[in-house]
Structure 1
Amino acid sequence: MSTASDTPVLDILAAMTVDSIERCGLAPDTLILTRIAALAASDAPPVSYAAHLGPAVRTGLSVEQLQDVLVAIAPIVGTARVMTAAGNIATALGMTIAVADAEVEAQG
């Protein structure tokens, strides 16, 4: 199956996310916290967390709330997954900051 898009994988991921959000009745902050928990449980890479940082900031989530999610799921998913998630979140923050810095530098 061919597509006219240059980014078919990103396109389908975006469409799935929009569909999920439209069908979900959770408050935006609860939705993001739930997704962070699922990312940790599935051993997601940093880029997956990076995709959720903007929405997390826009919903007003704090670092403490993100930490609370990791604390809450630790007994279920285990220490290794929680430590990996914490490291991946830190890496995602670094990636996000680097991209923002590059955009500012390109503009000015």
Structure 2
Amino acid sequence: MATESATPVLDTIAAMTIDSVERCHMDGRTLILARIAALIAMDAPAISYLAHIDPAMKADFTVEQLQDLLVAIAPVVGTARVMSAAGHITQAFGVAIALADSEAEAMAQAEAQSRNTP
């Protein structure tokens, strides 16, 4: 019997992703390339790209490779999907930067408070 969770949908998605990665024999860069191409092809929302930023960074996936991917699949998926993806990817990066800034600020505040506590 499954245990109850406060985030059952996210937990399920995480479990599916882990299972997929464990069963796939692609290197990290090829895997992230395939996943981002699939997101572009299905006109995925920004939140879907947000979930792939950290794995892409860990696989040393570069902005130039992302641009090459968009160019490579444009004739197959179409201009509208590529332009939509570019917007969604930009949104995802904006959210990721805002989250990182917020986390850094919280850490700095916690450190400052710990220094001021006798």
Deviation at 1:107, TM superposition (A): 1.2
Counterpart check, 1:82 vs 2:82: yes
1:12-91 superposed matches below 5 A: 12-91=12-91
Partner of 2:97: 97
Equivalent position of 2:115 in the other structure: none
Please list the CA deviations of residues 57-94 of structure 1 after superposition, one character each: whole Å capped at 9, or x if unmatched.
Answer: 11111100011111111011000000000111111000
Provide the secondary structure at the position in 1 that maps to 2:105. Answer: helix
1:90 counterpart letter in structure 2:
T
Give the alignment's Cα RMSD to 1 decimal.
1.3
In the alignment, the residues of structure 2 paired with residue 3 and residue 83 of structure 1 have an alpha-carbon distance, to the nearest angstrom, of 41
TM-score (norm 1): 0.96
Amino acid in the other structure paired with 1:47: I
Runs of 4 or more, structure 1, over 4 Å off, are: none
- What is the letter of the counterpart of residue 49 of structure 2? Y
User: Which of structures 1 and 2 has the bigger CA Rg?
Assistant: 2
Alignment identity in percent? Answer: 63
Please state how far the C-alpha of 1:3 moved relative to its aligned partner.
5.1
Q: TM-score, normalised by structure 2?
A: 0.88
Q: Which residue of 1 aligns with 2:116?
A: none
Equivalent position of 2:8 in the other structure: 8
Q: Which consecutive unaligned segments of at least 5 residues does structure 1 have?
A: none
**Distance in 1 of aligned mates of 2:93 and 2:21:** 23
State the number of aligned residues: 108
Q: Which runs of 5+ in 2 are unaligned?
A: 109-118
